[in-house]
Amino acid sequence: MIKVYKAKNYRNKTKKELIDELIALQEVANEVGKLKQEYTKAFDKLRDSERKYRALFDQAADAIVVIDIDTGKFLDFNGIAHLKLGYTRDEFKKLKIFDIEVKESPDEVQKHIQKVVNEGFDTFETKHRRKNGIIRDVFVSSKAIDLKGEKCIQSIWCDITERKKIELAIEESEKRYKLIAEAIPDAVVTTDSDGKITHASLQAIKLHGFDSLDELLGKSAFDYINPVEHKKIKYIFQNIGKNEILRIEELACLKKDGSQFPAELNCAHIVSESGIFNGYIAIIRDITESKNIGEKIKQKQQMLLESQKEIKKFSHKILTIREEEKKNLATILHNEIGSLALSLSSGMAAVDHKIKDNEMDSALEINKKNKSVLISFVSTIKELALDLRPPNLEIIGLSEVLREYLEKCAKIGEFDIEFQQNFDEDNINTEMAIVIFRIVQEAVNNIIKHAHASFAKVVLVTQKKNLLVKIYDNGIGKIRIGSPRDSRMTMGLRLMKEMAESLGGNLHIKSKEGKGTEISIIIPQENRRCS
């Protein structure tokens, strides 16, 4: 503390008193010198701090302004503040905050300033207008400060226009991604790098049995894969390249209720432009239906193979039967013609002898026998021709041909055959008539050879747009296609079935042991009219 001495009359003081006062004055001078040094240091520090502040103020990458809270004038600002908005320093000095603010009205700006004064600090986003009229997005950090004893607002403006554009582009990209994800029929799921679900399409939500996206967000994707598959999937995911697409043809996935379904999985990394791995995107397809179809196709293929084998066997048997028929025909022709030739030769020789001996009556009698043999031969040839192709179908029609044929069969088989018909022959073309005749012929031959029947009935009637062919007998019964009882008979039944199907029809057999057999064939008549 500096002592203050009042001036006194030095003439009345002693030498000692004067020396004491000089010493006291020296002490005061020393303390004043110390105070001066401290003041100088404080001033230098203040000036250095002011220089540092000014350097930061002027060299900052963002705009910094000091605003008068009453007028809105810019009391101070750095170069970035006016350059960013396209003004010179002198032009910017004349502006107020209201001149560049776009988002808020002057009244709203004034209220905002007062809020900063009251609360001391605020951050917000707004828009500023450049000198050329272009609008820029700005992030503002404002603080109330004292400048030369006056309250002011110091604001830092960070131009975020480019960041906003990037954010908008990302937002648009997200929208497009979501539209695509919702548009495709497969389920789409994205996860972070730890496998936690960050998004799921509507199809994914439904596929796994959930009601909303919130139920899936943040959950591990592995929660919806059968635990048996976890080890394999984790290994595959760890070894998948950043630019590769992982495809798993069948994966056991789980629903919310724990039920399992087969799925096809296509998965890839989500990588930023800078190459940073951010997670996974997966497309999941429920293959339950296609798998079932695949199984059905395999079954059909197996059935086809078996059918082909049966067809080969059947074709072989048909060829065998044809060869047997040819052999029988050749035998009959050989025997009949040989017998006829021998008989006629003997008969003619006998006639010659009788004529030479002038025994004309005996010659005529022998000639009658020769004629009878020839008539019998002609009858046999006609029967063979009937087996090869029914005659007169085009002339007298199917109904009359069947009637004549059944009358002959009744005599051969020695049992009664009833024939009933009620159909329009104009709806039966030649091809159809031949097939129907062959079916009836095969069925009646089976009755003659195998049924041991005393009665049979053949019916041809029209039912709606179909032709019903029914052959019934009261024989021993109990037959079916493929039964081992008589391979020749079952071959005949198969042949009848094939002929019915060639006309687009179906063959049905009812047979009961001791109760006879009923064969029904239903043939559609549409598009089968005679041309």
In SS3 terms, 124-137 reads as EEEEEECCCCCEEE
What stretch of H or E contains 48?
helix 15-59
Beta bridge pairs of residue 225: 253
Amino acid 519: pLDDT? 93
Q: How many CB atoms lie within 10 A of CB 76?
A: 15
Amino acid 261: pLDDT? 93
End-of-domain residue from the set 92, 125, 159? 159
Q: Classify residue 449 by its DSSP letter.
A: I
Amino acid 531: pLDDT? 39
Domains contained in the chain, number: 5
End-of-domain residue from the set 355, 388, 421? 388
- Residue 530 counted as domain residue: no
Tokens representing 506 are 């179906």
Tokens representing 40 are 């100088």
| DSSP letters for 396-437 | HHHHHHHHHHHHHHHHHHTSEEEEEEE--GGG--HHHHHHHH
Is the pTM here over 0.95, yes or no? no
- Rounded distance between C-alpha atoms, residue 64 and residue 78, angstroms: 6
Range of the domain at 344: 290-388
* Alpha helices (runs of H) in 357-392, residue ranges in sequence order: 360-388
Tokens representing 60 are 């900052």
Same domain, 384 and 309: yes
Beta bridge pairs of residue 189: 200, 282
Amino acid 158: pLDDT? 93
Same domain, 31 and 88: no
Q: Mean pLDDT by 10-residue block, N- to C-terminus, for the chain (531 residues)?
A: 51 72 76 72 66 70 91 92 93 94 93 93 94 94 88 92 87 76 81 90 90 92 90 78 78 92 88 81 88 82 79 63 63 64 70 77 75 70 60 76 88 88 84 86 87 92 89 82 50 81 88 90 68 39
List of residues 6+ apart from 151 with CB closer than 8 A: 69, 117, 144, 145
CATH code for the domain in which residue 475 is found: 3.30.565.10
Q: What are phi and psi of 258, to 5 degrees?
A: 90, -10
Amino acid 242: pLDDT? 66
- Residue 79 counted as domain residue: yes
Beta bridge pairs of residue 167: none
Amino acid 530: pLDDT? 40
Same domain, 349 and 263: no
Q: Report the length, in residues, of the chain.
A: 531
Angle at 419 between CA 416 and CA 421, to 5 degrees: 170
Q: Which of 137, 121, 120 is nearest to 129 (CA)?
A: 137
- Residue 4 counted as domain residue: no
End-of-domain residue from the set 256, 286, 316? 286
CATH code for the domain in which residue 137 is found: 3.30.450.20
Give the three-class secondary structure for 200: strand
* Per-residue exposure over 4-28, b if at least 16 CB sit within 10 Å of its own CB, e if not: eeeeeeeeeeeeeeeeeeeeeeeee
Tally of helices (H runs) and strands (E runs) in the chain: 13, 15
Same domain, 269 and 372: no
Same domain, 423 and 517: yes
Contact 236, 216 (CB under 8 A): no
Same domain, 384 and 397: no
